Structure 1
């Protein structure tokens, strides 16, 4: 069993919507979760509740421009550049790590997980030397279908990218619709319909935000981002039929991270982009729980 509690997280001039899922029994691990493009954390209620029922406390928030953190239509997709996006993620992780270490008796290990765009964000942070001390305090990193490259046929044209960048320099806050087809995200018809009818999945970015997203993805796919030995453990989970983010690019990235000794790749045959809401969701959820609990036991012996 578990309980959930809503709140706010203040960073800079922003007040962001947060939610915490807490076990009713002992807490054996803590997970910080970073969501993807055009979604929000309440779409993960079932997944997070199951994690909490197994002793894993989950912390997450609707990022700038998304979900309940976008309180006005003008806020939609207004994420800011990569520096701000990563700074928000780092601030949220830092806040939870401070809470975890505030009590000398609390040695509960902390994990970080990112889905899709959020997966690319946590990798960008984890590979940034300025965050090395923060990264070293995280027990493990979990990637659910991270955005490291476009799936085949989904790449934007060079002309579209160049024009978007040029206009974006003049009008960075200019909003632009980018619709990810709901039927590409899950094989479950009910999930597809719920995404289509979810007003908080607004499919709206800004030229600055979308350009920054492309820059992060290019840095990851090109190999310019390298993880160091401060990344203790890494788990990649990805569906082989993902029509949004490239399965091959994600596998290649993780395989090339030679400095990470404890890394694992888990593929889900035929699965689409949202593993937590696809036909493989039970297997996926069990895999995530088992991976975290195994490393939590290791941590408790250190």
Structure 2
């Protein structure tokens, strides 16, 4: 069970929606900061976060600029800003949760799904955030990270060129970019809920979509890769993911994480994109995430007592 709290946090003149899922009894064993995916919002992860809180993991998430309940008018849909703005928002949300020098505070983990997984990995690789954010994060959890497109979702070169050209002059111009709900999950009830969710507006801006493509390219080509400040990293990806490319994630894990001493990749055979919402077996994913986090949180606790 979990105690849930809604709120807001202010960053660069914008108020963003936040939500926390806290263990009902006692201090948390770990904190998990969550970053959602494209056209998504944190309340779509309620079941997983309640489950994690019931195991002693406090979860803190926010609807990113341009998404979910952080949108207050139609013109704000997809208005994320460039990658520098996206990373600054995420870092601003993480920093208050980072443990102080005192070792008794629970360690902090960062998790991202899909686009949020690519953003988490970009943050973990960015030179500007190594000292004040990355080295204070105990571990990084990536669910179906957006490192590459599947063949079905890869945009045509002409479309990309045209959008980038127009985006130079009209960066805030909105563009509808629908992802098929049936590609997200094998659970018909989840597919139906996605189709009926008015907060999932599937609208990006030309600047935001171009920045998303740039982040993905930097990851897929190995230009962006975590350095020595990243201690632990876990990746989970379904090999039947129809949205983000499983094989690109696997290749990145094998070729670009050489400086990460503690890393693990798990293949979920036959699973779709939303591992947290992929039918009756999805609790297996919850358990994998919780066990990985709690094992490292336990190591931190043991070291603090020495």
TM-score (norm 1): 0.97
Q: Please tell me whether residue 154 in structure 1 is matched to residue 153 in structure 2.
A: yes
Cα displacement (A) at 1:2: 1.2
Moved over 4 A (4+): none
Query: For 1:121-162, what per-residue CA distance to the aligned partner results, in whole angstroms no more than 9, with x for missing partners?
Result: 011110011111110100000000000000123210110000
Corresponding residue for residue 80 of structure 1: 81
Q: Which residue of 1 aligns with 2:129?
A: 131
Give 1:105 shift: 6.5
Shift of 1:186: 0.1
Summarize deviations over 1:184-229 as a string: whole Å, max 9, x none.
Answer: 0000000000000000000000000000000000000001012112
Q: Secondary structure at the match of 1:43?
A: helix
1:107 Cα deviation after fit: 2.3
Return the match for 2:114 from 113, 116, 121: 116
Using the alignment, how far apart are the partners of 2:298 and 2:104 within structure 1?
Answer: 14
Deviations 1:240-291 (A, max 9, x none): 0000000011111112210001000011000000000002311000000000
Count of equivalent residues:
299
Q: Is contact 2:104–2:301 with CA below 8 Å preserved after alignment?
A: no
Distance 2:63 2:11 in 1: 13
- Which residue in the other structure is 1:271 paired with? 271
Distance in 1 separating the partners of 2:104 and 2:300: 12
Question: Shift of the alpha carbon at 1:175?
Answer: 0.4
How large is the RMSD of aligned CA atoms in angstroms? 1.0
Q: Any gaps of 5 or more consecutive residues in structure 1?
A: none
Equivalent position of 1:260 in the other structure:
260
Shift of 1:55: 0.2
Distance 2:213 2:261 in 1: 29
Check whether the contact 2:234–2:265 (CA below 8 A) recurs between aligned residues: yes
* Unaligned stretches of 5+ residues in structure 2: none
Alpha-carbon distance in structure 1 between the residues aligned to 2:299 and 2:117:
24
Bigger mean CA offset, 113-122 vs 277-286: 277-286
- Pair 229,219 (structure 1): closer, same or farther in 2 beyond 3 Å: same
Could you say which residue in structure 2 is the equivalent of 1:192?
191
Mapped partners of 1:13, 1:106: distance in 2 = 34
1:202 alignment counterpart: 201
Residues of 1 paired with 2:290 and 2:11: CA distance?
30
Three-state SS of the structure 2 residue aligned to 1:199 is coil
Say yes or no: does 1:35 pair with 2:36: yes
Cα displacement string for residues 26-62 of structure 1 (whole angstroms, at most 9, x for unaligned residues): 3100000000000100001111000000000000000
SS at match of 2:34: strand
Q: How many angstroms apart in 1 are the aligned matches of 2:143 and 2:245?
A: 12
